[in-house]
Structure 1
């Protein structure tokens, strides 16, 4: 039986892989730069040739050494300095105090253990050399000591990769930074993708306890969070179902005594008292039916489909105008939206009806962007007290405190509208207009890519 090692897909493991990949990339790049920044193959060959030239100069009599150095082609210039000269003495001091230990270390080893000094045009030692530093500001120098304490100086006008340490470091740091950023962005994308998918699923659900469970995908920690969310959603679904059954039973049980009261009311001789009793019975029946309809969340039983949302708003406005109300619509002629058309129609009608009832008119404006749609419903009524702007969405809350259903309603219109809009992952915000009246601002994000303006 073969054993297969399977690593757990966790966020911690993904982060560890990301950091490990970044470190390995940095190390690989460091090795590459270390190889490129040091002497290249051609440079090492030239250094071998320089070692041979040094041996030839060392074997020649002192009178012929400079003439022999002039014939060397491995550098742009070669100079021999006898022992005891001023610059030879400075080389003796410089070899004990390396001007550029890092560069010297890179070149060392080819000179077969000879004492050497590596420096550049910016070092004070270069001022002692008879060389046109103005024409060749980037030249570099290598002085090698012979057995008789004399020195041979090789001068090169440039290096293939450049000899300035700041330039080399800047190039290396920029490359390492770019590599780490690229690896981090790529890894972060794969790390964040399942989280983004989870967020998209939550927006799709929109707080609907009857929605399908979220697929459990991604790292182990995220799958655990999704499983916990699905479990919570299941408990909420059971709670809503139990609540709906209880309210349905209460509504059904209330009908019998209300019917009995209506029948017994027929025996009341006082017509005025009988009419009041029947009106109270009708109010109780309407309250029971409205509460049952709201708590059942009938809008969530409707399936989502693609429909013309702009046409829906225009139809509502035309219907109110046919009834003599002043309702205007501003916006695109057509806009395809994925959602529950009948629920959205009922929610928009509740909001427009409130604007007409309390403000006399309703101005509806639809704005569609790439990411969301927004509907603004404005009126010219008295508005809503500031401290009640949020309370009006509470079930059975009414600013008009009378119990008359014709003036105050049941206090469920705005609550039901908000529930419908939030089921579409949107929101409703109320604000009073400076010139008087109320503005209802509805926003719904565009989740389905099929939603688009229709020309």
Structure 2
């Protein structure tokens, strides 16, 4: 799950949207619950005060003998009424009396007028919890706006929710007492809110998926185009969509064009230098032929020949850089095997280990030249070459091993520099100018890969690693670089 989270922008975006929805809904429900509780508390208080005032007026206009029936009939499941001869005591003592009243059963309508007959159940203990919970409040007088009668009334909150008590003096000097106790059970969640939340979550998920698709699709195109450019293929992004995406595509296409011009300019300059050096080198050779001293003449001719070889190698390197070979899907195993067979027919000790068919989009001639350079180096300095093609989930590796002296660890990167040679093991007499590994690495990097060296217990292992493109094989057979990108255009040939 962690891996899927880190790899999918859609999952992250949807999860964050749902988290934001859950937090906002939770906060909204809490705020709505608090507002609803306050509103309900005010309504209950107003009704409680109004009913107490009505009962007080009724008792004042009723003969004393009927008071008990009125008090029993006025009681409800959450409230009780009773009369005391004097003013209410302290809140603590009054609460105990209120608890006793709440535990009395309610009379049925048929039993009114018959105090000895009662029906109905006692109120649940949860209903009297508000009247029995400790409180720090004390009696307070209701304001004229809240109390409708012309006589003062004492009021007390028994808890922070729906527990309250009231006492008011009657005309005959006695006091009417009333208590109300109801548990504060306000349901924040119900079926309607759950259905609304589920529908909102589905809608947000769809919107988030649509938005992230619009963001990630251009990003995937750019990643595929960058991978294509890294392999030397042309991949122009469509300059469409919103301004931000369109400007990014324009900048990418301009960057690709500038890089192409930069490389072409350097390649043409190298080719021009190598071409222009041919004439003075030929002139120097002609003049060296007329030197009278034989030893001096041979040294001069040897130096000129070496200079000519280096110039030709430089021209070959420049031609490789300016090559405009098309990219196509080939069987890498068959390509490398045919090269090994050709070298073996020429008398070189080359062995190829057969493996599974591995298809890859590449420049076949350039890749063949890179592998040939490595195999010839292995035969020249290691007596024999063992070649195989290894397929991994991320790349296709062409491995060449020999039994030679290897390469010093501190010179592993230096040997890839143009014209660099290891004098201790690869002198001029053994052949080579020092461009074989440079050309091989250049070709591999134009395919988006690289060439690496590794010393064995006996010999050297050279590996050309070519990355696998993420495009499907059907797209390659259709002749397109990647989905959504135009067909590849061959680069202009260099003169």
Q: Highest CA radius of gyration, 1 or 2?
A: 2
Matches within 5 A, 1:17-28: none
Q: Does 1:367 align with 2:390?
A: yes
Q: 1:344 aligns with which of 360, 364, 367?
A: 367
Q: Does 1:94 align with 2:135?
A: yes
2:465: which partner in 1? 443
1:306: which partner in 2? 329
410-419 or 367-376, which deviates more? 367-376
| Gap regions ≥5 residues in structure 1 | 1-18, 98-113, 120-140, 164-175
Taking structure 1 as reference, are residues 178 and 402 closer, same or farther at Cα in structure 2, changes over 3 Å only? same
Q: Does 1:142 align with 2:162?
A: yes
Taking structure 1 as reference, are residues 314 and 34 closer, same or farther at Cα in structure 2, changes over 3 Å only? farther
Q: Does 1:296 align with 2:319?
A: yes
> 2: distance between equivalents of 1:182 and 1:391?
55
> 2: distance between equivalents of 1:196 and 1:216?
15
Query: Is contact 1:326-1:356 (8 Å) kept?
Result: yes
Please report the TM-score for the alignment, with normalisation by the length of structure 2: 0.58
> 1: distance between equivalents of 2:70 and 2:312?
116
Taking structure 1 as reference, are residues 346 and 86 closer, same or farther at Cα in structure 2, changes over 3 Å only? same
Query: Is contact 1:379-1:438 (8 Å) kept?
Result: yes
Query: Is contact 1:88-1:150 (8 Å) kept?
Result: no
Q: 2:446 aligns with which of 395, 408, 423?
A: 423
Q: Does 1:327 align with 2:347?
A: no
1:393: which partner in 2? 416
Taking structure 1 as reference, are residues 409 and 226 closer, same or farther at Cα in structure 2, changes over 3 Å only? farther
Query: Is contact 1:351-1:414 (8 Å) kept?
Result: yes
Taking structure 1 as reference, are residues 56 and 202 closer, same or farther at Cα in structure 2, changes over 3 Å only? same
Taking structure 1 as reference, are residues 160 and 224 closer, same or farther at Cα in structure 2, changes over 3 Å only? closer
> 1: distance between equivalents of 2:344 and 2:82?
108
> 2: distance between equivalents of 1:412 and 1:280?
18
1:9: which partner in 2? none
Taking structure 1 as reference, are residues 216 and 414 closer, same or farther at Cα in structure 2, changes over 3 Å only? farther
Q: 2:404 aligns with which of 381, 390, 413?
A: 381
Taking structure 1 as reference, are residues 232 and 88 closer, same or farther at Cα in structure 2, changes over 3 Å only? same
Please report the TM-score for the alignment, with normalisation by the length of structure 1: 0.62
Taking structure 1 as reference, are residues 53 and 162 closer, same or farther at Cα in structure 2, changes over 3 Å only? farther
> 2: distance between equivalents of 1:36 and 1:271?
110
| Gap regions ≥5 residues in structure 2 | 1-15, 60-66, 97-130, 139-154, 169-176, 191-199, 475-495
> 1: distance between equivalents of 2:82 and 2:371?
98
Query: Is contact 1:54-1:152 (8 Å) kept?
Result: no
Query: Is contact 2:328-2:363 (8 Å) kept?
Result: yes
Q: Secondary structure at the match of 2:430?
A: coil
Taking structure 1 as reference, are residues 145 and 239 closer, same or farther at Cα in structure 2, changes over 3 Å only? same
Aligned-residue RMSD, C-alpha: 5.2
Deviation at 1:80, TM superposition (A): 6.6
Q: Secondary structure at the match of 2:228?
A: helix
> 2: distance between equivalents of 1:379 and 1:419?
22
> 2: distance between equivalents of 1:260 and 1:451?
54
> 2: distance between equivalents of 1:341 and 1:450?
20
